[in-house]
Structures are given as C-alpha cells and as structure tokens.
Structure 1
Amino acid sequence: LHETALVYRPKVIVCGASAYPREWDYERLRKIADEVGAYLFCDMAHYSGLVAAQVVADPFKYAHIVTTTTHKSLRGPRAAMIFFRR
C-alpha cells in the first residue's frame, strides 16, 4: 500500500471491511496517508460493536473520517453516523 500510495498519491485512503480476519494497523495507515497528503477514511460499520466493546482497535485516534451504522453490530435502529476531524 505504501509503494502504491507514493506512485498514485490518492486524496483518500479507505480502510474497513466486513470479512477481514486481521487487525487494522491504523497508525501505519495514517502515516502513509500523511506522507502522501491523503485523508484516512475508515468504514467500521460491520465491526463498530467490537470497537465499542474494546475488542478490536479503535480507528478514531488515527482516521480523519470514520463512518458506521447503528443497526449492524451496534444492534440499534437503522441509521448511520459520520465522524470527522477539522
């Protein structure tokens, strides 16, 4: 990813998945994003309940933008949330 980002210099790097068995290295992704001048965007809709329960890593410390839904692993009514830093 680092080499690809250096070549293409994206404006946004997206992370998050519904079927990814490993922990995301948000710190490393943020360093790559900062190096190429990109935003780090994390979609944690499928595992936000695990983030809330502190079972998996929390993307909020590193991501510029975090999105999630309330009805998947948070088990709330159907809705969505977008968090961003200025």
Structure 2
Amino acid sequence: FRPKLIICGGSAYPRDWDYKRFRQVADKCGALLLCDMAHISGLVAAQEAADPFEYCDLVTTTTHKSLRGPRAGMIFYRKGPKPPKKG
C-alpha cells in the first residue's frame, strides 16, 4: 500500500502529534504529509503545542476557532520540490 497523502491532526486527540514520526512514514512510502491544525492553531501560535510546519508539506487551519478571528481558512504549503535526503 503506497498512499499519496498522509493526513494527521484531529480535534479529539489530547496529546501532541509526533510530526517527526509522521514525516518518516511519509518519506518511506513517498507520500505528502498534511496536517489539519484547525483546533490547535491558537496553541501552536502561542508555542503551547508542537509546530507542524517543519515536518509537513501542507498545513491547513481555520481562523475562527482557537485563533478567534473572522470565519476563514488558510492553506500553507512548501513551494518547490522537497530538499534532497541527506546521507
């Protein structure tokens, strides 16, 4: 089984996501890694939750949940190809 996209994130998971481990799995099967951080974006911004941006190819969030802004959404993505693997 070779998925093209692995999605991590959720609203009912009470612990930090292990983004580094998700990245390793995604790299092993050649998949992109997407994090939906809509429910924890305020915690990520306040540095109270793990930051997915170092590990994920795509990050999605909303502005009206824990960021407390107007109703909207944001999609962040890495521009260009992935950097070459080291070693």
- The answer, yes or no, to whether TM exceeds 0.5 is yes
Which whole-Å CA distance do the structure 2 matches of 1:23 and 1:45 have between them?
A: 14
Amino acid at match of 1:40: L
Count of residues in correspondence between the two structures: 79
5 Å-filtered alignment, 1:3-82, equals: 8-82=1-75
Amino acid at match of 1:68: T
Q: Which residues of structure 1 form unaligned runs of 5+?
A: 1-7
Q: Which residues of structure 2 form unaligned runs of 5+?
A: 80-87
TM-score, normalised with respect to structure 1: 0.90
Which whole-Å CA distance do the structure 1 matches of 2:27 and 2:39 have between them?
A: 26
SS at match of 2:53: helix
Which whole-Å CA distance do the structure 1 matches of 2:13 and 2:40 have between them?
A: 10
Instruction: Quote the RMSD (CA, aligned, Å).
Output: 0.5
Percent of aligned pairs with the same residue?
Answer: 71
Which whole-Å CA distance do the structure 2 matches of 1:39 and 1:13 have between them?
A: 6
Match of 2:84 in 1: none
SS at match of 2:50: coil
Amino acid at match of 1:79: A
Which whole-Å CA distance do the structure 1 matches of 2:16 and 2:28 have between them?
A: 22
**2:68 aligned with 1:85, yes or no?**
no
Shift of 1:22: 1.3
TM-score, normalised with respect to structure 2: 0.89
- After TM superposition, what 4+ stretches of structure 1 lie above 3 angstroms from structure 2? none
Which whole-Å CA distance do the structure 1 matches of 2:36 and 2:16 have between them?
A: 14
Which whole-Å CA distance do the structure 1 matches of 2:26 and 2:3 have between them?
A: 8
